[in-house]
Structure 1
Amino acid sequence: MRYIEPFTDFIHAIEQPEQRERTEKVLTWVRETFPQLEAAMKWNQPMFMNHGTFIIAFSIAKPHLAIAPERKAMFHFEEEIQAAGYSASKQLIRIKWTQSVDYALLKRIIEYNIEDKKDVTTFWRK
């Protein structure tokens, strides 16, 4: 896989090859599935925005890949997140490195945020 800007340094810094490969695959998938989204590094996290408003962010930890779609989306998809077997907090979804990524769910979450925030003019929801 090729590294995608502006995430090159973030991806290179991931020490575990499997975690680096998975993270790169997910970020590349988002970029290819939603080419209209703007990619940026903010708060040391890869994130995607639409017309300057936050859509989704990613981070890594030793036990998991974390996905942060904002609280409203977390609430909206709460049952699906649980059904996928992921642990979650009010702000993020934790996908263990041993679990598969539910790309269909990820796609629905991103589409939801794009649609729900189409008229939002601030970075975060208010």
Structure 2
Amino acid sequence: MIFESFLDGLLPAQSQKLSEVFNWIENNYPELEPVVKWNQPMYQHHGTFIIGFSVAQKHMAIAPEKEALVQFKDQIAQAGYSQTAMLFRVKWAEEINYSLLAEMIDYNIEDKKDCQTFWRR
């Protein structure tokens, strides 16, 4: 797995939770390419960013880009996650809302289907 060295540097519970998320993404979105950029695991599609992840002591951060966060602001709040302009946080003890994650990934794949750059402009 491309993210193995990233996961090896985490606490076991963090590594396990992120592994579950990565496996879910790779099983449900085989067309996405896992990459590490800026020392962060992320997924891209035809060279454009779809979603990225980072780790903090109390949570994982999920970054689907600002546009998707604006589109899903209410659903993020309803799921009980906190949010900034560029990411939302899932505490390590919280369940992953895979339905919401799928909606965000689907949104980015569709919205960026003609995007020729890594980030939206």
Q: Do the two structures share a fold, i.e. TM-score over 0.5?
A: yes
Distance in 2 between residues matched to 1:28 and 1:60, nearest whole Å: 17
The match for 2:4 is 8
Relative contact order (C-alpha < 8 Å, sep 6+): which is higher?
2
Instruction: Please state how far the C-alpha of 1:25 moved relative to its aligned partner.
Output: 0.6
Paired letter, 2:101: L
Residue segments in structure 1 that go unaligned for 5+ positions in a row: none
Paired letter, 1:96: K
- Identical columns (%): 47
Distance in 2 between residues matched to 1:82 and 1:116, nearest whole Å: 22
Within the alignment, does 1:125 sit opposite 2:115 as a pair? Answer: no
In angstroms, what is the RMSD of aligned CA positions?
0.6
The match for 2:53 is 58
Paired letter, 2:46: H
Distance in 1 between residues matched to 2:107 and 2:39, nearest whole Å: 24
Scaled by the length of structure 2, the TM-score of the pair is 0.98
Distance in 2 between residues matched to 1:54 and 1:8, nearest whole Å: 20
Runs of 4+ that moved beyond 6 A: none
Distance in 1 between residues matched to 2:4 and 2:92, nearest whole Å: 20
Residue segments in structure 2 that go unaligned for 5+ positions in a row: none
